[in-house]
Chains A and B, each alone.
Chain A
Amino acid sequence: MFKFGTRKMVATGIGAALFMVLFMFVKVPSWVPETQFQTAYALGSLMAVLFGPIAGFLIQFIGHALSDAIQYGSPWWSWVFASGVSGFVFGLAYKRTGVEVGEFKTRGVITFNVIQVIGNVVAWLVVAPLLDVVVYSEPAQLAFTQGAVAALMNVVSCGVLGSLLLFAWAKAVPSRGSLE
């Protein structure tokens, strides 16, 4: 799970580039004005499930840091780090959902979603607001409210889009015993 070979390294590079593109250009508007679902986290959860926690951390960390650098000039480090943390937690689903052998069934869906909810809650309700207050001396109430909104949005994004992407991936992989 924690080995980081050439394939995972390349997956990290390409994954982070994809994360950047989605993070900057593909946002799904929600009911609330001026808030959007970040499709990038759905990709992040897919990649983390396929390539493990280290790739998951790096994809979201590098991807978020570089797209912040392009969009805002300087990465907002507390949220960049929180992105990395959530990627790491998503990666704990590595080889636990059956996606890599083409079987993404009820059990896999539940495992994935439990892990992604934990990851998002830890990252956006704990890590991001705490660092916001400590590092950037943001007002605590604002930081935690923003964190709560982000947690909710990303849970939906990973839960709906991430699951759909995993279904698509499982379908594309020849499933175990399909040659019999």
Chain B
Amino acid sequence: MTLFNYSYEDTVIHRLSGLTKLLGFLMLTGVVMYTYDIRIFLFILVFSFTLLRIAHIPLRKLKLVFLYVGIFLVINFFLAYLFSPDYGTEVYGSSTLIFQIAGNYDVTWEQLFYQVSKLLKYASVIPLGIIFLFTTDPSEFASSLNTIFVPYKVTYAVALTLRHFPDIQKEYTTISKAQQARGLDISKKTSFWHRFRNAVATMVPLIFSSLERIDVITNAMHLRGFSKHRTRTWYSFRPMKAPDGVALAICLAVVAGAACIAIFVNHGRFYNPFV
């Protein structure tokens, strides 16, 4: 099982400040979220896989991600067709028949183009989340979130989440294997009511042992005078440097480029090759 854990390596991406990476992540995913242009998606796809290379993250760490996204995409592809087989026509304002099936389930180039664009829309951002989580130090990330006016208790909660996720993931594996050894099963092989009961049998020890942590950590933080003041300073704070500026400039250029294409070329969110 892959642990989603921050580990330091000496690459350009690791050395960037957490804030830069967050802003870059939001900008790039924002572009993909807003536009519906297959050319932009292709560009972001190449760009994000290049970043993966630069950050020295091996592709096998993304195995699970590819599996999830793959399943999701296949299901979504068919559902989208089932529920709105003429959404492409609606969007692009024309209808070019490929072959007939029945009723409005005729396959058109517009629908096919819309759905292929959608596929790439999801695929193009796959590496970005992984890059962000694998290369960002949780404490440093918390400090940089705080500099953009997120309350420090919220940023601290995010840092705690990132720190404890690998631990809790390990604990889950142990508990789940122990319960499976006892014959507790939550898959389709048991009856419906038993699935729920067995899920509870796995969840209760996991949750209760984690909730015990809460008191331990809270006490430790109280003893060190946490949350006495309205603001706080950060030991792990790193000021922005020249590479941060360059990285942000690149991301801004991508955003600006996509905005220009949307406004001047596409006149809207969708790229329409059918005009």
Contact = CB atoms under 8 A, between A and B. Distances in A.
Contact of A74 (B125, B169, B172, B204): B125
A26 B186 contact: yes
Interface in A7-47: 7, 9-14, 16-18, 20-22, 25-26, 28-29, 31, 34, 39, 42-43, 46
Contact of A13 (B164, B208, B227): B164
Contacts of A106: none
Given A28-B186, A145-B83, A168-B200, A73 B127 contact: yes
B6 interface: no
Given A4-B153, A5-B227, A17-B165, A10 B160 contact: yes
If over half of A's interface residues share one DSSP class (helix, strand or loop), that class is named, otherwise mixed; here it is helix
Contacts of A137: 36, 269
Counting chain A CB atoms within 10 Å of each CB, the highest count among B127, B161, B196 belongs to: B161
A70 B27 CA distance: 18
Interface in B114-143: 122, 125-130, 132-133
A61 B84 CA distance: 30
B187 A29 contact: yes
A172 B208 contact: yes
B17 interface: no
Nearest to A72: B69
Chain B, interface residues (CB within 8 Å), range = 35 or more
A139 B115 CA distance: 12
Contacts of B84: 139, 141-142
Leading 6 A-B pairs by shortest Cβ distance: A13-B160, A69-B129, A73-B126, A139-B84, A74-B125, A12-B157
18 contacts: A5-B227, A9-B156, A13-B158, A13-B160, A16-B161, A17-B160, A17-B161, A17-B210, A26-B186, A43-B207, A62-B157, A73-B127, A77-B33, A135-B33, A136-B33, A142-B83, A161-B203, A165-B203
Interface of A: 4-7, 9-14, 16-18, 20-22, 25-26, 28-29, 31, 34, 39, 42-43, 46, 58, 62-63, 66, 68-75, 77, 135-137, 139, 141-142, 145-146, 160-161, 164-165, 168, 172
